[in-house]
Amino acid sequence: MTPMTLLAEAPVDRLGQSLDYEKARECDSVVDAWIPDWLRSGWEKSQRGECLDDEDVVCRALDFAYRLHDGQCRASGEPYILHPIAVAAILKDLGGSNAMIAAGFLHDVVEDTEVSCDQIEEKFGKEVRQLVEGVTKLSKLSFESKTESQAENFRRMFLAMAQDIRVIIVKLADRLHNMRTLEHLRPEKQILISRETREIFAPLANRLGLGQIKWELEDIAFKYIEPEQYQMMESLVTETRESRQEQLVEVTRVLGDRLEAMEIEDFEISGRPKHLYGIFRKMERQKKQYNEIYDIQAVRVIVNTKEECYRVLAVVHDHFCPIPGRFKDYIGLPKPNRYQSLHTAVIGPKGQPVEVQIRTWEMHHIADYGIAAHWKYKESNSNSKPLKGDDQKFTWLRQLVEWQRELKDPQEYLDSVKEDLFDSEVYVFSPKGDVYCLPRGSTPVDFAYRVHTEVGNHCSGALVNNVMVPLQRPLKHGDIVTILTQNNAHPSTDWINFVATNSAKSRIRQWFKRSRRDENLALGRSALERELGKNGLEALLKSDQMQKLAERCNYHNVEDLIAGIGYGETSVNAVVNKLRENNHNERYFNPQKFESRHEPAAHNSSSKSPILGLEGMVYSIAGCCAPLPGEPITGIVALGSSRGITIHRNDCANLANIPNDRLLHVAWNQRKENDQVLTYPIDIRVETIDRVGVLRDILTRLSDNKINVRRANVQTKKGKAAIIDLSIDISDRSQFDRVCSQINKMCDTLSVCRFVAE
């Protein structure tokens, strides 16, 4: 029988710990001191000028990186090559293949030296090139908007992960070593990097099951973001260490004796410290004191089989009093990151709570190495392959890749990413027994949209544990959820107010926008007519050029593009600008509007009149179409009226029945920098999801653009969209387009359009 291992608060193994920082700094040759034993032979060969075997891709990569980074230093003053060596050591401990370890050495050479990806492929093969290129692309994007930049980086990251999960493993190893050496940066840089690490990279490591990386990233980030709380937690843990050790030794002794008596072989019992940020976060979340947290001290029991796990659980509950409500079976119901273990909390010999975790050796490896356990413990390094993107254990990754095609708003996409990276806390079942992980507070509607978009769109009711429940009822662990659907059922605007997931909210909003397709098509066509005129528009819309433009804008056909313009998903200005990039299609942009009219004579550009050609004449702005500077206009001579000339938009329906001899071609005078800014009253209608504060948010955007609001009227009806009519003062068409675009980008907005008040 293999002897058991009894450990009390054993130190947590650190990835890449074979690299001795202190020893390296004391040596004459810092680089030599950092070369790990498994690479020393190849390294010494390269230093002697001997040729390395073509198959020894790892040693060749180290030698190549060493020569390229020669003379470069890090912020600490140490040779830059120490960073790639440390990253490669972390990947080695994770069980990475030779290609991954080589990519660890080379991950910065394309960005920091003159070497190209083609040269990487020529020297090290296509696989290494793809990994290095994937990591390099994640740090090369630049946008004016910080939100857009972050969202685009995440889109690229998840696409790279879906193609080859090893790319993000290399990126995490890179981030881990950068965090270990963060003390050499400026304080403001330390906080910025630590926040990004805690918000994105630590949850991402958790999602991939890389427990060791996740815990270390969180603790280092905690140290820099909240130094006072970090020191407090460190002090509390140190003060209670002696009493914890005594209790853990007693628990391990009792359990060890019983397991030996039961003839369970090859087991290990160890006491493990909880990482500091984990304790602090739990205290904050549960609003408890340090001594009220159950799992500050934990015992881990590792055995060979699942059956032995449950036998050990019986022993634990037989010898120590279990704490009610603290048992969790993650073996029968694994976490989304493949984590499996039995968790229970008991009262220890000294009357203090102790958490006990029970798992098999395979589960233990997965808990520490997550997805990396696939190649670390099941395949040789030379033949290791990444898990495929469609692995059922990582459906969340596939969903993020799918959602990025639908979510065009950067902030909305970021919300979805962060929601799905953090722990899902509710596990529910479909009637077929499939397990779904949802955020706490999720409802049957969230579940329906997680199953499929059409299931959510046609949801008419829900059964939870075979009992009909309201759609807004939060789901609990273990609920069996059945969604009732009907072909004529559709989402309600009330759903937005209670669903918990951003993905469900997005799909509900999309349904409302797309369900009004005829209306959106009319609005889109009207917008194009305003910009391009009616003549030639039909021919343009049927042309191959327009179809290619629609595909370029990620629409299946021209009709979808027009509808997208109608409900604000894309702007008419963006479409027209892309059309104008092709000079040979310029004829579509100069249609002869109102052919019977003559062009106005040249006018003095210094005229103070807002409208050219009407200097000294009486005119008024038509209320039926409310034209704005920047829009094509026509004057109507009003016979027998003191108003003189009435100014209409060229596309105003009232022009159709006016004789040509009463039409006067006019144009807006260009305003100079020092001219007085005139405003014109127009009415707009905003259709939006009804919620508290939506009018305030719209008025805020108007105020930010210095737009006066003359009148506001809100109409609401339960279960339907809210209608907000606003009378506002606008200076020109560009200001109008800008504010409408900002309102349209609000997550609750369904449509924005002009209208004529009764």
Query: Active site residue: 53, 55, 111, 292, which one?
Result: 111
**What domains does the chain contain, in order, with CATH numbers?**
21-182 (1.10.3210.10), 234-383 (3.30.460.10), 392-514 (3.10.20.30), 516-589 (no CATH), 611-668 (no CATH), 680-754 (3.30.70.260)
With 50 as the cut, is the pLDDT of residue 123 above it?
A: yes
Average per-residue pLDDT for the chain: 77
pLDDT in tens, 373-419: 555 444 433 344 444 433 444 555 555 555 555 555 555 555 555 55
Task: Output the CA torsion sign for 170, 172, 177, 182.
Answer: positive
Backbone angles phi, psi at 428, to 5 degrees: -125, 165
Structure tokens of 727?
Answer: 């009378």
> 18, 85 in Cβ contact below 8 A?
no
Q: What's the whole-number mean pLDDT along residues 139-156?
A: 52
With 50 as the cut, is the pLDDT of residue 101 above it?
A: yes
Count of other CB atoms within 10 angstroms of residue 274:
17
CA distance linking residue 473 with residue 499, whole number of Å: 10
Q: What's the whole-number mean pLDDT along residues 199-218?
A: 83
**CA 734, 736, 741, 744: dihedral to nearest 10 degrees?**
-170
Tell me which DSSP letter residue 748 carries: T
Amino acid 415: pLDDT: 59
CA distance linking residue 151 with residue 618, whole number of Å: 53
233-242, 512-521, 741-750, range with greatest mean pLDDT:
741-750
CA distance linking residue 600 with residue 65, whole number of Å: 71
Amino acid 615: pLDDT: 63
Query: Active site residue: 32, 70, 112, 183, which one?
Result: 112
Q: What's the whole-number mean pLDDT along residues 463-478?
A: 88
Name residue 259's amino acid: L
With 90 as the cut, is the pLDDT of residue 294 above it?
A: no
- Sorting pLDDT into bands at 50, 70 and 90, what band is 645? confident
Is 112 in the active site?
A: yes
DSSP string, 487-542: TT----GGGGGT---HHHHHHHHHHHHHHTHHHHHHHHHHHHHHHH-STTHHHHHT
Q: What's the whole-number mean pLDDT along residues 655-679?
A: 77
Q: Which of 40-54, 266-280, 348-362, 384-398 has the lowest mean pLDDT?
A: 384-398
Is 518 in the active site?
A: no
